[in-house]
Amino acid sequence: MSSNTKITPSSLSKKDLPWQIEWDNDKCSFCGQCTSVCPMKAIKMSVSRKRMMNLSLGSGVKPSNSYETFQTIMQNTTSENACIGCAMCTQVCENHAIMPVKSDEPSKLAYHVNQGGNASTRGGRRKSNTPGVLDQIKFLRISMLTDPALDAGRHEFEMNTLLGRVLPPEENIKLLKENGWIPPVREIYPLVIGGMSFGALSPTMWEGLQMGVSYLNEEMGMPVRMCTGEGGCPPRLLRSKFLKYVILQIASGYFGWDEIIRSIPEMVVDPCAIEIKYGQGAKPGDGGLLMWHKVNKLIAAIRGVPEGISLPSPPTHQTKYSIEEAVAKMIQSMSMAWGFRVPVYPKISASSTALAVLNNIARNPYAAGLAIDGEDGGTGAAYSVSMNHMGHPIASSIRDSYLTLTKLGKQNEIPLFGGGGIGKNGNLAANAAALIMLGASGIQIGKYVMQAAAGCIGSEKDRCNICNVGKCPKGITSQDPRLYRRLSPEKVAERVVDFYLSFDMEIRKIIAPLGRSTSLPIGMSDAVGINDYHAAKRLNIKYVV
Amino acid sequence: MCRLFAFTSEEPLSPIHALEALDVMREGHDGSGVGLFMRDLGGPFEDLKDCPVLSGIFTEEGLRRLDLFLMDLGFMTKFKMSIRVPKTPPEGIPERHIYLIRAYECPRSWDDLPQEEKDRKLLEIRLQIRKMGEEKNDMIVFSFWPDVIMIKEIGDPMEVANYLKLGRDDLKARIIMAQGRQNTNYGINLYACHPFFLEGFATMTNGENTAFEPIKDYLLSRGITGYQGYQSDSEVFAHILHYTFNTLGLGLEAYKHILTPLQEDKLGEHPNEDFLRQLKMTCRRLIIDGPNCVIGCLPDNRLFMVQDRKKLRPGIVGGKPGLYAFSSELCGLDAFIPDRDKTKDFQPMHLDTAIVNPDRQEVITCRQTQKLPLPH
């Protein structure tokens, strides 16, 4: 900023930004790769002028000055061009000459991201600096002498879980005898790729995930399932045999459902299940949001909308006005669409009202389960205030729900699927096992998938998180071919298989020492403990120090 | 580890024989307690087959309260067997006032009740006595059922047997289940001692039940009278057996399918695939993870043994027509029936249920891969 430029309230210096670019003049080759890769245009090549003083020690020679020009990499300081710390510049620099560094004091940018009166939106997870409760849970009940620990590497393990309404055994036997209707139940792998829409994710990312899931099913014998999220499903997938690995999501915007309903007569297999999304942990009380940047021709066609407009789904399903209607009628309608052959379950955000939904579902014979999404869940786009300050942790929500089901005697009848921040600190198997032992039948993951399978670098500490505007530097959540071509679907598929296989081994390494192998240890709460007295009391597990 | 021994014999035998067989296997248990289940009774109980027999341990005050309680309900004592014990018990055995074995005549008002109703009332009365005893710590009741006696005590099995003089002539049964070493995982409490009994179904188990917590939660939430207690992780095996028969209406062949269902590869080939797949799903919370060897007895006097899926616990069945025994170890069986055809000994594996019917003619083995007899 030159000395005669106006200082406005939002004039920021490099020091005020959350990320500052450190650039090394000596190493820089001025190739320009960093500036061209930067998704934010946060850095620019610049030619600057500097004044050189010519001073002489001798007498009679007057000091003079001259001007030289030099090349530099400059950091923009406007809020719309602030560095997001993605470090793509570092990644492309062959000389290691450039890197974003986190500011050593709180950023001032937060006060200025609302330019034009627009509340800040972003993608990612809620900001957080503390480890989650799930990370603190330990597995205590180790078999040694009272009974032998099992060998995670050599033993046979039954890891699958059930998705679907399971009847009480006596009722089931009676219906079998009478040839009555028995609700459909799917045996699936307990780690489900949760709803991330075609639209939120780039075509290459979606294709990679589908390929990875298909490989796990067809080649590895692991019945892994993936939810579409709210955004429809590519027409060819709807008509392929791979649809059975897909959970179709319907949400309050009904995006893509015109195409899905039309394709039902042409489906060669049934989908795994239908998920009715009522809420999302990352932004409870808010609907899905696909910002206009990402609504290109393809996305518009699949969703059945015009191009280039933002797609905010309503916070709730507009045709319903009560829980009875919303849950009962919608579940029944969706079940009917597939001839009662496909499990239909609601997904809600964790909330202090979750138990009311659960109690309602318990009375609805068509409800195939309940998915609960906790506050640490990710999202492709949301208002920052919703993401950072709204929501309910998943651990106590799942625990309360499980204990309620146990009180009702329906803990085997309504599977609970928990999601929202599972593996957010990299401890996927440990978090998943803890949640299963607290009562979850299965786990949904989303952000972890982007991180592990595609190298998403977004974090809970203000790094990147620009999924909403389609500028994802890794091409994971972008609809811009120049960006998403960076991502190889084959490599994504490979990574999906990698992390599923390693998860499988890690979960065995947890449950084998607990002496469990014949069935997934759902609700095995005697095996877990925590060194936080209040958390232990709240979750009804052991307090250990 | 626990050790188990059970026999079924045409001739009524003293429980001392079962305890001697346990003693042979003493290297495998720590002598911390003993539990006995006797059925198809001989001696003076031979003619009292329809009379419920109350077995338990009482203080003087407890006995008084019991008498008043049962008299009020209209029960009449028909026969009692007193086990008098020396004033000072050997080291390791607690001092007790009386070990009660008493046969009652049911109240007149029960005469026209259907059998199921009578059974339910007997169970409720036992549970009420248990509750009264727990309130004042003066009564422990193990069973209140026709043709069944149960004795449990802390201490070395042989010492307990000598102390209680269990070798007496008038205490005999055709079916006896005995377990050495009592539950040390959850604190010694006589209600945590094997064998466990509910409405005619009895089991005892070797090994820790690692899936105890979810199974317990599930059984507790069934709302079935008698599914309570669970001071021991092994009590659930008796209740799952009870549930298999009384709630699901299935037979013994299905018990193993509930405890450890077939895995996918075998399930797909099974003649009852559809039924078993549904059973596996609906009874998933009852799946045990073992390692457990379960020996049990049914109301119709069948005796059986099943292993968990991993088959990590020992168990052998053998004998001769008229006398068969189920034992944790071969040495126990050898000591009890040395003159049997050892080539016919059978060690049930991960798919087997070994059964000896009330006619005591042979060991029948039932594999999970076989067709399941289903009720019509």
pLDDT in tens, A318-337: 777 777 777 888 999 999 99
User: What's the rounded Cα separation, in Å, for the pair A409 and A366?
Assistant: 17
Residue A124 pLDDT: 95
Interface of A with B (CB under 8 A): 141, 143, 146-148, 150, 155-156, 158, 162, 166-170, 172-173, 176, 182, 185, 406-409, 411-412, 514-519, 521-527
User: What's the rounded Cα separation, in Å, for the pair B140 and B189?
Assistant: 10
In angstroms, the separation between the Cα of residue A114 and the nearest Cα of chain B is 51
User: What are the residue ranges of helices labelled H in A439-518?
Assistant: 447-454, 481-484, 489-511
What percent of chain A is predicted at pLDDT more than 70?
A: 99
In angstroms, the separation between the Cα of residue A395 and the nearest Cα of chain B is 18
Distance of CA A9 to the CA centre of its chain: 36
Option in B211, B284, B287 nearest A162 (CB)? B284
Q: Is it the case that residue B362 has pLDDT exceeding 80?
A: yes
Numbered ranges of CATH 3.60.20.10 in chain B: 3-49+147-367
User: What's the rounded Cα separation, in Å, for the pair B297 and B303?
Assistant: 5
What length does chain B have?
Answer: 376
CB–CB of B289 and A519 under 8 A? yes
User: What's the rounded Cα separation, in Å, for the pair A145 and B184?
Assistant: 12
Task: Report, as an integer, the average pLDDT of A134-141.
Answer: 95
Chain A residue closest in CA terms to B184: A146
User: What's the rounded Cα separation, in Å, for the pair A160 and A152?
Assistant: 16
Option in A148, A158, A407 nearest B291 (CB)? A148
Residue whose token pair is 């105890």: B212
Q: List CB contacts (< 8 A) between A526 and chain B.
A: 212-213
Q: List CB contacts (< 8 A) between B212 and chain A.
A: 526
State the pLDDT confidence band at B375, using cuts at 50, 70 and 90: low
Mean pLDDT estimate for chain A: 94
Residue B84 pLDDT: 76
User: What's the rounded Cα separation, in Å, for the pair A237 and A234?
Assistant: 5
Specify whether the CB–CB gap between A479 and A298 falls below 8 A.
yes
Which amino acid is it at A5? T
Give B61-78 pLDDT, tens digit per residue: 999 999 999 999 999 999
Question: A222, A524, A525, A540: best mutation site toward chain B, by most B Cβ within 10 Å?
Answer: A524
Q: Is it the case that residue B186 has pLDDT exceeding 60?
A: no
Specify whether the CB–CB gap between A295 and A305 falls below 8 A.
yes
User: What's the rounded Cα separation, in Å, for the pair A70 and A188?
Assistant: 62
Alpha-carbon torsion B348, B352, B356, B361, what sign? negative
Closest by alpha carbon to A248, among A333, A161, A184, A344?
A344
Give B322-353 pLDDT, tens digit per residue: 999 999 999 999 999 999 999 999 999 999 99
Task: Report, as an integer, the average pLDDT of A505-520.
Answer: 93
- DSSP tag of B65: H
Task: Report, as an integer, the average pLDDT of A231-251.
Answer: 96
The second-level CATH assignment, the architecture, of A135-543 is Alpha-Beta Barrel (3.20)
Numbered ranges of CATH 3.20.20.70 in chain A: 135-543
Residue A434 pLDDT: 98
Closest by alpha carbon to A283, among A199, A378, A370?
A378
Give A275-302 pLDDT, tens digit per residue: 999 999 999 988 888 989 999 999 999 8
In angstroms, the separation between the Cα of residue A170 and the nearest Cα of chain B is 5
Option in B214, B248, B287 nearest A173 (CB)? B248
Q: Is it the case that residue B376 has pLDDT exceeding 80?
A: no
Task: Report, as an integer, the average pLDDT of A419-428.
Answer: 96
Beta strands, E only, B192-322: 196-198, 201-206, 293-297, 303-307, 316-320
Q: Which fold has domain B3-49+147-367?
A: Glutamine Phosphoribosylpyrophosphate, subunit 1, domain 1 (3.60.20)
Give B47-63 pLDDT, tens digit per residue: 999 999 999 999 999 99
Residue B29 pLDDT: 67
User: What's the rounded Cα separation, in Å, for the pair B2 and B192?
Assistant: 13
**Residue with the larger pLDDT of the pair A63 and A22:** A22
In sequence order, which residues have a C-beta less than 8 Å from that of residue B217 and are 6 or more positions away? Answer: A406, A411, A523, B285
Interface of B with A (CB under 8 A): 185, 207-208, 210-214, 217-218, 221-223, 247-250, 260, 263, 274-275, 278-279, 281-285, 287-291, 308-310, 312
Specify whether the CB–CB gap between B182 and B153 falls below 8 A.
no
Give A334-357 pLDDT, tens digit per residue: 999 999 999 999 999 999 999 999
Give B89-100 pLDDT, tens digit per residue: 888 888 888 999
Residue A54 pLDDT: 87
Residue A154, classified by CB atoms within 10 Å of its CB into exposed (0-12), middle (13-18) or buried (19+), is: exposed
The domain made up of A14-56+63-109 is a member of CATH 3.40.50.720: no
Specify whether the CB–CB gap between A273 and A338 falls below 8 A.
no
Q: List CB contacts (< 8 A) between B263 and chain A.
A: 156, 158
CB–CB of B211 and A524 under 8 A? yes
Q: Is it the case that residue B185 has pLDDT exceeding 80?
A: no
Residue A149 pLDDT: 75
State the pLDDT confidence band at A50, using cuts at 50, 70 and 90: very high
Task: Give the torsion through C-alpha atoms of B369, B370, B371, B375, to 10 deg.
Answer: -100
Residue B187 pLDDT: 53
- Please tell me the class of the B50-146 domain: alpha beta
Sequence-distant contacts of B297-300: CB under 8 A, at least 24 apart: B297/B6, B297/B37, B297/B39, B297/B175, B297/B177, B297/B201, B297/B202, B297/B203, B298/B200, B298/B201, B298/B241, B298/B245, B298/B252, B299/B199, B299/B200, B299/B201, B300/B358
Numbered ranges of CATH 3.30.70 in chain B: 50-146
Q: Is it the case that residue B1 has pLDDT exceeding 80?
A: no
CB–CB of A412 and B285 under 8 A? yes
Tokens read off for A104: 């050593």
Count Cα neighbours of A458 within 13 Å in the Cβ-side half-sphere.
31
Question: B282, B283, B285, B287: best mutation site toward chain A, by most A Cβ within 10 Å?
Answer: B282
Q: Is it the case that residue B86 has pLDDT exceeding 90?
A: no
**Residue with the larger pLDDT of the pair B189 and A237:** A237
In sequence order, which residues have a C-beta less than 8 Å from that of residue B68 and are 6 or more positions away? Answer: none
Residue A130 pLDDT: 81
CB–CB of B222 and A409 under 8 A? yes
Specify whether the CB–CB gap between A100 and A35 falls below 8 A.
no
User: What are the residue ranges of helices labelled H in B81-186?
Assistant: 115-136, 157-163
Residue A337 pLDDT: 96
Question: A174, A518, A525: best mutation site toward chain B, by most B Cβ within 10 Å?
Answer: A518
